[in-house]
Chain A
Amino acid sequence: MVTNQASMKRDGIQDYVTLRASAAVIAAFTFYMVYVFISTENMTFEIWQGIFSSIYMKAFTLAALVAIMLHVRVGLWQVLTDYVKPYRLRAALQFVLNLIAFAYVAVGLFVLWGV
């Protein structure tokens, strides 16, 4: 594991499980949000704030954001290794995209903190 982390070598099984597990969390969050929008006739700021003020919803949202980050990390590595062959460019793109995925989690965390 240490060697894997140090060499940035991907683990096929770990990636396979991560992709599916994170997809399940993202799908569950999406379905729940769709249900919220369909079941709420007039969505107001107060209702919206009320939904996200629950600690369970905060944990669920954070789990969804982390799942997106993990999904992006594995998924985009696969896409980049398919289409971007120069390794320096690929490493740079991977770095930027992972940073953006992390920024989503960080911003999401601060937003949830503020609710």
Chain B
Amino acid sequence: MQLTFSIYRYNPDVDDAPRMEDYQLEVEEGQDMMVLDALIALKEKDPSLSFRRSCREGVCGSDGMNMNGKNGLACITPLSALGKGKIVVRPLPGLPVVRDLVVDMSQFYTQYEKIKPFLINDQKQPPAREHLQSPEDRAKLDGLYECILCACCSTACPSFWWNPDKFIGPAGLLHAYRFLVDSRDTATDERLGDLDDAFSVFRCHGIMNCVSVCPKGLNPTKAIGHIKSMLLQRAV
């Protein structure tokens, strides 16, 4: 069985403009493989093809890309899930392209940095071993801590496309809520104060593209809704 790939190619050092390039890949009849494996096979034919990958099992979040119009991780997206026709592979939308499928994630990380993604605890005498947490409090972090920062959600979000410098984006806000509900964190008010403006949180209009594309099955829209409620409670 011969599969056709149409892959976004752009090398700013050589090319004037991006282009889509077609590739053919021979796959045994009835055999399935992940998009990343197909890309690696194509790279053997054309070593100039560039993309990021590391763990190749959906843990590191390096190979986020847009496959047939939907963001996802190439390493855990089977070819069979993309239908029978031509497979169109593009870089994550909205971010500047470094080369081919490799994007510059600076804007994404800048927003992530803003939410102070670390535990803040002003306890005068920290416990000798660890901050203890009840199983109930620990359970509040489920569905939040699993985020691997692949940027599939934020780059699928129109609000992030239009305001990547002001809107934190779904990934950053999911992490923000993870620290807001952490019983060991004592900077809730400070964190909410940092988010209390017209863009950081409130640019989320509940489009839910983030939920639709998250390769880990997380729900950033729900977390953002909780942050909005917390901000509202703080204001009234």
Contacts and interface: CB of A to CB of B under 8 A. Distances in A.
Q: Do A and B come from one complex?
A: yes
Interface of A: 9-13, 15-17, 78, 81-83
B68 interface: no
A56 to B, nearest CB: 29
B162 A17 contact: no
Interface in B112-168: 158-159, 162-163
Interface string B211-234: 000000000000000001001100
Contacts of B196: 12-13
22 contacts: A10-B198, A12-B196, A12-B197, A12-B198, A12-B199, A12-B201, A12-B202, A12-B231, A13-B196, A13-B202, A13-B232, A15-B198, A15-B202, A16-B202, A16-B228, A16-B232, A78-B205, A81-B162, A81-B163, A82-B158, A82-B162, A82-B163
Max count, chain A CB within 10 A of own CB: residue among B197, B202, B205, B228? B202
Contacts of B205: 78
Give the interface size bracket for B toward A: 10 to 19
A13 B200 CA distance: 11
A13 B235 contact: yes
A17 B232 contact: yes
Contacts of B201: 12
B236 to A, nearest CB: 9
Given A12-B199, A13-B231, 19 more contacts: A9-B198, A10-B198, A11-B198, A12-B197, A12-B202, A13-B196, A13-B235, A15-B198, A15-B202, A16-B202, A16-B228, A16-B232, A17-B232, A78-B203, A78-B205, A81-B162, A82-B158, A82-B159, A82-B162
A11, A13, A16, A81 interface centre (most CB from chain B within 10 Å): A13
Contacts of B158: 82
Contacts of B202: 12-13, 15-16
A83 to B, nearest CB: 7
Nearest to A82: B162
